[in-house]
Amino acid sequence: MAWHGILGHDDVVGQFRQAIGWGRLASSFLFSGPAGIGKMTFAVKLGQSLLCPERPEAALDPCETCPSCLQVAARTHPDLEIVAKPEEKSFLPLELFIGDKEHRMKEGLCHRIAMKPFQGGRKIAVIDDADFLNAEGANCLLKTLEEPPPQSLLILIGTSPAKQLPTIRSRCQLIRFRPLRTDQVEELLLSRGLVAEPAEARRLAAHSEGSLQRALELADAELWDFRDKLHQRLAEPLMDGVALAATVMALVEGAGKEASAKRQRMRQMARFTADFYRAALRQRCGAPANDDGHRVDPLAATLRGWPGDAEMAAACLERTLDAADEIQRNVHPATLVECWFHDLTRIMQPARSTSGEQRKTR
């Protein structure tokens, strides 16, 4: 049974109940797992459980009706602090942690979490988008992590421990969140009214890789069509990297004038490309087409004409993942895409040459 409607993470609930029951709840946590699987929702519900005066902490069963629970649900509780990366920023601004220049250490999360609780017995702070902590922001958190205020709880939410500085990782207890099952994504799409038709929910869930966020992105018909066309062109024996880069950039530019919208579109392109090379690597290694038994790899037919081997698939996947990281570092979009697809073409050159020779002999 799902914990208060949160699917897929009952094992994490068990970890917290056990820690609280033993009186060994840590003061700092790093929630790690793919985007769009409910980590933020879980963090807020955990905060609601710990701040609810009607139920014991160890039960992790908030009443959801008392004033405290309602304030947490509305994210207005005075003992709950939540910060996230502004859409227009590339990193979490320093001001979120220590205030602006005129109010250094008199405002911000580090100041507020050090104050005594207003209502509950705890102060709880949640840092969403912790992947976007830069060195300055991370260093501001170190003192709070090293000397946490009494009855405080700090939760960082990210996608990978590798994206955090070692000093941050070493001071947080790591909690890993697994991707949702395909049937759970399908259930969420339908139960929340995000998709009207069951068939559409099944299709999106099958390609979501366990992420509700990704399933919603794929609901965009334009992106879905482009994804299929991109995979077909990546599978061509003589892929034209220059032309493909130009096509990708045209779609990125079509996202709008805002830099944040363009970066989001580029991240989608990186995910679509990574999908292709992951599937290619699985197929060339003879691995199952999926990891949960609920779907058939939709790329299986497309990959039959792809000339690469497992080593090439791994190299192309690694280059694509590097490109995804470069997107977060504000590399010039056109330059990034051109270099990225140039490198993919270079990696595939031996296979392209072989394919060309085979065509000549025919």
- Judged by phi (left if over 0) then psi (alpha if -120 to 50, else beta), residue 142 lies in alpha
Q: Is 213 helix (H, G, I), strand (E, B) or coil?
A: helix
> What is the distance between the alpha carbons of residues 143 and 348, in angstroms, rounded to a whole number?
48
> What is the DSSP track for 125-160?
EEETTGGG--HHHHHHHHHHHHSPPTTEEEEEEES-
Model confidence pLDDT, tens digit, residues 77-91: 999 999 999 887 878
More confident residue, 326 or 341: 341
**Per this entry, what is the length of the chain?**
362
Residue 44 has pLDDT above 80, yes or no: yes
Could you tell me which of 327, 210, 202 has the C-alpha nearest to residue 260? Answer: 327
Which tokens go with 272? 């679509």
Residue 355 burial (C-beta neighbours within 10 Å; 0-12, 13-18, 19+): middle
pLDDT confidence bin for 217, thresholds 50/70/90 = confident
Which of 38-52, 64-78, 275-289 is the least confident region?
275-289
Instruction: State mean pLDDT over 225-245.
Output: 92
Which of 115-129, 217-231, 343-357 is the least confident region?
343-357
* Confidence (pLDDT) at 352: 66
Output the average pLDDT for the chain: 89
User: Which pairing describes strands 173-176 and 152-158: parallel, antiparallel, or unpaired?
Assistant: unpaired
* Confidence (pLDDT) at 81: 95
Which of 55-64, 173-182, 263-272, 284-293 is the least confident region?
284-293
- Enumerate the H helices of 89-134 as residue ranges: 95-98, 109-113
Half-sphere exposure (Cβ direction) of 18: Cα atoms closer than 13 Å = 6
Q: What percent of the chain has pLDDT over 90?
A: 64
Model confidence pLDDT, tens digit, residues 243-298: 999 999 999 998 888 877 888 889 889 989 998 999 999 889 987 655 444 444 56
Model confidence pLDDT, tens digit, residues 294-329: 444 567 778 888 999 999 999 999 999 999 888 877
The pTM assigned to this predicted structure is 0.81
